[in-house]
Chain A
Amino acid sequence: MRIKIDASSGVPIYLQIVNQVRTQVALGQLKPEDPLPSVRQLAADLVVNPNTIARAYLDLEHQGIIYKRAGQGTYVSLRAVEMSKNERVRIFSELLEKALVEGLHLELDHSEMESVFRDLMTRVNGRDENGARGES
C-alpha cells in the first residue's frame, strides 16, 4: 500500500489516508483480503501521529472498506469491491466535472459539449473493441 501525505494541504491527514485507500481499492491496487500495515507501522512509515492513522482506519472500517480480524490485523473487506463501484463513479464524475467547467470557460454550450462527449465515447468504444479482438 502506497500512501503519500501532503502535510501542507487543507485536507486533514486522516482524510487523505481514507481517500487514498478508497481510490486504491477502486482501482484494484488493493484487493479483498489484502492486509493493511499496522497502525504503528504506518505511523512510523509516514511519520504521522498514530492517533491519526487509527482514526483513518476507524473511518474506513465504518465505511465497510476494511475490517479487523481480532489479534491478526486489518484487511480489505469483500464488500469493498461492490462499494468501489460507487467510488469509481465518484472518481469519474469528479474528472468529468473538471472537464465540464473547462468547457464552460471555453464558452461551449451544452449541446456542443454533449456531441464531443458522444464522439469520444464512440471512438474510445471502437478502440476498446479492436483491442479486445486483437487480444483474443
Chain B
Amino acid sequence: MGGNSGNSVYESAGAALAPVESSAGVVIRTSNLSRRFGRVEAVRNVSLEVPGGCVCGLLGLNGSGKTTLIRLLLGHLRPSAGQVRLLGRSYQQDEPGIRERVGYVADARYLYEWMTVSETLDFTRAFHRTWDDAKVRSLIDRLGLPLDRKVAELSRGHRARLCLTLALAYNPELIILDELTAGLDPVVRREVLKNVIEEIGREGRTVLFSSHSVEEVERLADQVAIMHCGEVVVHASIDDLKQSQPAPMTLEEIFFKLVGSADGGRERR
C-alpha cells in the first residue's frame, strides 16, 4: 500500500469517526450554561461543542436536565448564566436566522388542536422560505399521516410523526429532537427512526437528540453526551468511549457506571 493511500485511510477513517466538516465548524456551542428554577439548578455549567455533520445522543435519567438543556438550546428558556450559540449565532444577534435553520421535535412543541394535519402543514409552511413540498409529500406517504384528521384527535404516534414532518420539512441544517420516540410502539418507533436516519444521510446535517434508550443512542449517534444532576459528565465518540475502557463494556454499563443506580444519584426534584 502506497504512502498516499495510507494517508487517505487516516483522513477518511477520521472523518467517519468524528465528522467535522471544515466549513461547518462547531454547530452547537454552549459555554458555562446554567439554568435554575428557584433553588434547583436544572442545568449546571454546561460547556458543550457539537461539530457539524455529527449526530450527538444526549443520555440521562429522568430529571438529569436533558429537556431543560434542549429548551435552552432552542431559545425556549433564558439561561440563568452562560451562553448558547447555534450555527455560529446567538439568539440575541439573529433569532430569525437560527429559527430558519434549526428544526426540532419537543414535547412542548405547540400545535393548534383545532387544525387538521393538512392545515397545520400549510400554516407552518408560511413561516419557512425553504419549505420543501416534495419532501413533505414523501414524508406524509411514508409515515401514513391522516391529512384530514384534527390534531386533537391524533394518536401519540401520529402526533410524533406530524412533529417530525414539521421539523424536517424546511431542510434545517441542525435538528434537535427531545425524546422523539418516547411512548411509541416498536413498529412506529422503527419507522420514525428510519426517517431520521435518512435525514442524517443527507449532506451536512447535524443532529442532537435526547433519549432514554441507550440502544437508540448507540445505533444513531456518533457521539454521546451523558447528563447527570444537571451536568454533562461525559461527551465523547461512542467508539472511543467503548475502546477506552479497561475491559470491554457496553454503553449501558458505562452509563450506569457514570450515573450510578437510579437511587444512588442525588434527588433533583
Interchain CA distance A48-B197 in the complex, whole Å: 7
Q: Which residues of A contact B245 (CB under 8 A)?
A: 10
Top-6 shortest CB links A-B:
A10-B248, A55-B16, A7-B215, A12-B239, A50-B201, A7-B218
Interface flag for A51 (CB, 8 Å): yes
Interface flag for A81 (CB, 8 Å): no
Closest B residue to A64 by beta carbon equals B1
Number of A-B residue pairs having CB atoms within 8 Å of each other in the complex: 74
Q: How does the 8 Å CB contact mask read for A33-64 relative to B, with 1 for contact and 0 for none? A: 00000011001101111111011001100100
CB pair A10 B250 closer than 8 Å: yes
CB pair A13 B219 closer than 8 Å: yes
CB pair B250 A9 closer than 8 Å: yes
List 6 additional contacts besides A47-B197, A49-B222, A58-B16; criterion CB under 8 Å: A8-B218, A9-B250, A13-B219, A14-B16, A49-B55, A51-B200
Interchain CA distance A43-B222 in the complex, whole Å: 13
Q: Which residues of B contact A11 (CB under 8 A)?
A: 242, 248
CB pair A55 B250 closer than 8 Å: no
Q: Which residues does B use to contact A, with CB under 8 Å?
A: 9, 12-13, 16-17, 19, 55, 190, 193-194, 197-198, 200-201, 214-215, 218-222, 238-239, 242-243, 245, 248-253
25 CB contacts below 8 A, A to B, read A7-B218, A8-B215, A8-B252, A9-B250, A12-B239, A14-B16, A14-B239, A40-B198, A44-B194, A44-B197, A47-B194, A47-B220, A48-B197, A48-B220, A49-B197, A49-B220, A50-B200, A51-B19, A51-B55, A51-B200, A54-B16, A55-B16, A58-B9, A59-B13, A62-B9
Interchain CA distance A44-B200 in the complex, whole Å: 11
Q: Which residues does A use to contact B, with CB under 8 Å?
A: 5, 7-14, 39-40, 43-44, 46-52, 54-55, 58-59, 62
Chain A nearest CB from B74 CB (Å) reads: 23
Interchain CA distance A51-B53 in the complex, whole Å: 10
Interchain CA distance A40-B197 in the complex, whole Å: 9
Q: Which residues of A contact B198 (CB under 8 A)?
A: 40, 44
Chain A nearest CB from B202 CB (Å) reads: 9
Known contacts A47-B194, A47-B219, A55-B13; is-contact A8 B201 (Cβ 8 Å): no
CB pair A10 B19 closer than 8 Å: no
CB pair A8 B250 closer than 8 Å: yes
Chain B nearest CB from A42 CB (Å) reads: 10
Interchain CA distance A10-B16 in the complex, whole Å: 19
Closest A residue to B189 by beta carbon equals A47
CB pair B242 A10 closer than 8 Å: yes
